[in-house]
Amino acid sequence: MSESHPPLRSYGRLKTRTIKPRQAALMETLLPTLRPPAEAFDPKALKPDAAEVWLEIGFGGGEHMAAQAQRRPEVLILGAEPFQNGIASALRHIDEAALTNVRVHDGDARELMTRLPDASLERIFVLFPDPWPKARHNKRRIVQTETVAEFARLLKPGGTLRFASDWADYVDWSLERFVRSPAFRWTAELAGDWRSAPADHITTRYEEKRLGDCAPVFLDFVRT
């Protein structure tokens, strides 16, 4: 990542409302213990007994990440999110469930990805990312040809990636870029495979708001 030409920001505001006192306290006490190393690292070193390592890019309020971590305690989940209110919410979920298998990067997911070694992940989630719907802003979307290549670098053969969005144009945009990559195979066989939430999906309050222009679409890919 060039210091003189940093990547375009792929997310919107960093903070909206005032963070509640309890969550603000967790930002000061819990977050520092959950941050991954600031240099290149092997994620397995963070939890040597982890059966798998997953990455959630843009975890929002942390509902999905925390619920998956609670459901699969043997899995280490790395989460990346720059939105301060979302981080504070996620910390509350982590604290209340006493989760020990989550690590939180409070910043751009691409910064975290560059620090991870090749073939270090079994699973990646990109769920309802900022859609940047205006054509002139499409270049800010997290799913680009370059990031698809980075996803391929990080996933082990047979690893999976799930993209979800309720913006039709972003679904088409992402599908085009993943299908174009020889590193990924789209698993859908029937229309219901992308129109219905997968069995292991956890619906969040944000998803239920239906802020996009279509019903949620779920695209699952396998690293070939």
Asked if 130 is an active-site residue, the reply is: yes
List 130, 166, 172, 213, catalytic entry? 130
| Kind and range of the H or E run holding 223 | strand 217-223
Cβ neighbors of 166 (< 8 A, separation 6 or more) are 128, 207, 210, 211, 212, 213, 214, 215, 216, 217
- For residue 104, the 8-state DSSP code is E
- In our burial notation (b when 16+ CB lie closer than 10 A, e otherwise), range 2-26 reads eeeeebeebbeeeeeeebeeebeeb
Q: How far apart are CA 8 and CA 29, in angstroms?
A: 31
Q: How far apart are CA 114 and CA 54, in angstroms?
A: 15
Strands 102-105 and 121-127: unpaired
Catalytic residue ranges: 130
